[in-house]
Amino acid sequence: MKICVLPGDGIGPEIMAEAVRVLQSLDLKFEMEEAHLGGCAVDATGEPYPEATQRLAQAADAVLLGAVGGPQWDTLPREQRPERGLLGIRKQLGLFANLRPAILYPELANASTLKPEVVAGLDILIVRELTGDIYFGQPRGIEMRDVDGQKQRYGFNTMHYTESEIRRILRVAFEAARKRNKKLCSVDKMNVLETTQLWRDVAIETAPEYPDVELSHMLVDNAAMQLVRNPKQFDVMVTGNMFGDILSDEASMLTGSIGMLPSASLDANNKGLYEPSHGSAPDIAGKGIANPLATILSAAMMLRYTFAQEEAAQRIERAVKKVLAQGYRTGDIFEAGTQKVGTKAMGDAVLAAL
């Protein structure tokens, strides 16, 4: 089981260290090798996704990523920014299916900004298409154009999807719904965007292949509202790259902290890149206070989806639940009556629970 470990930027190395310790504590044989991605790669090589990292990622069975980005790289040309490394690895490895579970642990019900009765028992899965849409569409750019008789800057991006791209992510979502509560909500903006009219058409055409799954449709603006109004109406949601980026971050905050949420990005053969849903949090980097649980839970998803080690994945997830039940909290989920701990102490607690 070969794992390419990419700690990345900001809090990435701190949270990654704890996830690696958890994996090493299991009775499994891993080959782990570290490489640069993101801002640290720019500093070391001038490129956000250098060739050495590309070779390692392609040769590995799975990739475990911390986080990328930070304000010190925001002034670089766009193609050199850390986020381009993340987009690059997703595209090169064909990681088209992003799975983001949003689960509210009972112990964290009060950490959500919503009333406990609205979010208690929340367990939804957002399936986001990851290699198409406006993020990858061409042409794109900022250039000078004549508009209304005067020269001014003109920014443009192109949103597009092929039928096959839509159908393959829908099938991932239908299969996921089939293993859960057999409800799938497809999110689009078909009343305005032809691209997402095609999305809805393909969803309707694909549904007969899954007669046991109930398919519904929702416009993205309504979906954003419904996630806050009544999130437990959803089981599995599927949508495009841009809408999925926004909705999955919104859903993450229903659980009290984005620091709790893992994610998986998979190719057609379940090779995956696993990362926490949060960013590099440069404001707390190096302070030893970041929450490592999302990264640890991402490692559990890696064991489940890429390595088919379901028992080991459940062991990690049970250990996280136990730690929360014991009252351990990093600053992002701390509340009165619980024990505030740092990054390493939280990792220690998970190892003890294992």
123, 249, 267, 348: which one is catalytic? 249
| Annotation marks residue 332 as catalytic | no
Topology classification of domain 110-259: Isopropylmalate Dehydrogenase (3.40.718)
Domain boundaries, the chain: 1-96+267-354, 110-259
CA distance 185 to 219: 10
Q: Name the band, by pLDDT with cuts 50, 70 and 90, for residue 106.
A: confident
135, 161, 274, 305: which one is catalytic? 135
Topology classification of domain 1-96+267-354: Isopropylmalate Dehydrogenase (3.40.718)
Amino acid type, 110: N
pLDDT in the model for residue 153: 95
Q: What number is the average pLDDT over the span 168-182? A: 96
pLDDT in the model for residue 12: 97
State phi, psi for 144 to the nearest 5 degrees.
-85, 130
Q: 1-96+267-354 with 110-259: one CATH topology?
A: yes
- State percent of the chain over pLDDT 90: 85
61, 201, 245, 348: which one is catalytic? 245
Amino acid type, 66: G
Q: Name the band, by pLDDT with cuts 50, 70 and 90, for residue 120.
A: confident
Q: What number is the average pLDDT over the span 185-197? A: 97
pLDDT in the model for residue 273: 97
pLDDT in the model for residue 252: 83
| Annotation marks residue 135 as catalytic | yes
Position of tokens 């642990």?
105
43, 115, 154, 221: which one is catalytic? 221
| Annotation marks residue 245 as catalytic | yes
188, 189, 210, 305: which one is catalytic? 189
Contact of 37 with 49, CB cutoff 8 Å:
yes
- The pTM of this model reads 0.89
Contact of 215 with 223, CB cutoff 8 Å:
no
Six token digits for residue 306:
């890429």
Residue 32 burial by Cβ neighbours in a 10 Å radius (0-12, 13-18, 19+): middle
| Annotation marks residue 189 as catalytic | yes
Which residues lie below 8 Å from residue 226, measured CB to CB, with a gap of 6+?
A: 218, 233, 234
| Annotation marks residue 182 as catalytic | no
pLDDT in the model for residue 290: 96
Q: What number is the average pLDDT over the span 48-55? A: 97
**pLDDT over 90 (residue 117):** no
Q: What number is the average pLDDT over the span 163-192? A: 97
Six token digits for residue 252:
């993450």
**pLDDT over 80 (residue 256):** no
| Average pLDDT over the chain, rounded to an integer | 95
